[in-house]
């Protein structure tokens, strides 16, 4: 294989990931919990707040997405938010206890004229003492450099599903284009936040295929968002059959075992999930959530309800391990399991 993202002997084959999925539930969670405790404080959860800085009107056809122009979901297209409004939202997120602020734009890729404003947002959010993350679609080299120069900590760009299932979900952007953007982001020294969506009607081998792809990136992503599909009326996936919630928990556990030092984020779909399943996700090694009343366009649990849930579970809100040295994974040493950058 010539693809630099895909070494000829990948770290994880789909068959090996499938063998983890097949473990008895208790054995799987035990392994995941052991892995988690070897690298992290088991009772700390990192809080990331999302803001949609440019909503709707996206030309891509991602079948899950309420923001695609291809589907009638009632989401109206808006312009890029003014920098001052974004910084005001970041200030509120910080006051509420978030440590990372993630700004999302419904673009296939940003236009050159947008980059100056985005770079200003990144600098402003960083100056507040928050970690920065943006998700803007595909990037070219120059755009990536501009974001890196602004001090961006993370770029979110998901693989979304296994290559085998991908064609049933998106036709306007190739899997390889996603891998290419991730490689460019990495080359500029920006951490990657890369995960996918579970519950889109994919098979277990497809779920295992996604995890194998993520875990075989070299190195694997510093941050791994595992989203549960939010079934939005008007999208082609609105009537997708519900997934067994334990299968979602298994996916979190398998992500933790295969990517031991990554921040594994229990992402979209928590509003539709009961507290017991969320607690099992934390037991399976999730150590980050989206925190705040909305995701991008859909509902997330109220911040107050999340604080109450964390308290009931004896979990503490805490920041990501130290990123000061640049690359998160390189910075995580064996003695860092209890050290945090507050
Ligand atoms: N347009 C950019 C892109 O696609 O890379 C950035 C924003 S896009 C909304 C970010 C991610 O949100 C998608 O890759 C997908 O994983 C997630 N997402 C979107 N709609 C979702 C839904 N209905 N349920 C779960 N996750 C969703
Ligand atoms: C990610 O993996 N999930 C977030 C974030 N990255 C940008 C987005 C979830 C979006 C859910 C649907 C919506 O609210 O529009
Ligand atoms: Fe556009 Fe991103 Fe939604 Fe796909 S997921 S339609 S690229 S906003």
Query: Does the C-beta of 268 come closer than 6 Å to ligand 2?
Result: yes
Label residue 6 by pLDDT band (50, 70, 90).
very low
The distance between the two most distant Cα atoms of the chain, rounded to a whole number of Å, is: 52
Tens digits of residue pLDDT in 31-71:
999 999 999 999 999 999 999 999 999 999 999 999 999 99
| CA torsion, ordered 276, 200, 216, 132, to nearest 10 deg | -70
Tens digits of residue pLDDT in 233-278:
999 999 999 999 999 999 999 999 999 999 999 999 999 999 999 9
**108 has catalytic annotation:** no
Could you identify the atom of ligand 2 that is nearest to the CA of residue 64? 12
Residue in 31, 100, 133, 186 annotated catalytic:
133
Could you identify the atom of ligand 2 that is nearest to the CA of residue 102? 7
In angstroms, what is the span from residue 53 Cα to ligand 2's centroid? Answer: 12
Average pLDDT over residues 69-80: 97
Q: What is the predicted pLDDT for the residue at 339?
A: 28
Per the CB < 8 A criterion, the answer to whether 212 and 10 are in contact is: yes
In angstroms, what is the span from residue 341 Cα to ligand 2's centroid? Answer: 26
């Amino acid at each position: 294989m010539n693809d630099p993202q895909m070494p000829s002997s990948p770290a994880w084959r789909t068959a090996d990931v499938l063998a983890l999925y097949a473990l008895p539930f208790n054995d799987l969670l035990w392994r995941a919990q052991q892995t988690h405790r070897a690298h992290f404080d088991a009772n700390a959860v990192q809080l990331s707040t999302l803001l949609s800085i440019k909503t709707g009107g996206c030309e891509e056809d991602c079948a899950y997405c309420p923001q695609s122009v291809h589907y009638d979901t009632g989401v109206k297209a808006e312009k890029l938010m003014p920098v001052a409004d974004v910084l005001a939202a970041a200030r509120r997120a910080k006051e509420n206890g978030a440590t990372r602020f993630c700004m999302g734009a419904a673009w296939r890729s940003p236009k050159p004229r947008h980059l100056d404003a985005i770079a200003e947002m990144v600098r402003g959010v960083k100056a507040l003492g928050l970690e920065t993350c943006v998700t803007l679609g595909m990037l070219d080299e120059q755009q990536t450099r501009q974001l890196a120069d602004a001090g961006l900590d993370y770029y979110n760009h998901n693989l979304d599903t296994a290559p085998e299932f991908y064609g049933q979900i998106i036709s306007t952007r190739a899997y390889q284009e996603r891998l290419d953007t991730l490689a460019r982001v990495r080359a500029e020294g920006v951490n990657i936040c890369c995960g996918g969506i579970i519950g889109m009607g994919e098979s277990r081998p497809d779920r295992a295929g996604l995890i194998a792809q993520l875990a075989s990136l070299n190195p694997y992503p510093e941050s791994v968002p595992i989203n549960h599909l939010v079934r939005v009326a008007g999208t082609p996936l609105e009537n997708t059959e519900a997934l067994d919630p334990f299968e979602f928990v298994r996916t979190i556990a398998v992500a933790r075992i295969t990517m031991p030092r990554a921040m594994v984020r229990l992402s979209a779909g928590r509003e539709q999930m009961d507290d017991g399943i969320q607690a099992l996700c934390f037991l399976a090694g999730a150590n980050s959530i989206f925190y705040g009343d909305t995701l991008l366009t859909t509902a997330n649990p109220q911040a107050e309800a999340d604080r109450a849930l964390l308290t009931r579970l004896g979990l503490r809100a805490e920041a990501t391990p130290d990123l000061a040295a640049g690359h998160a994974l390189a910075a995580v040493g064996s003695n860092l399991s209890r050290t945090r950058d507050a």
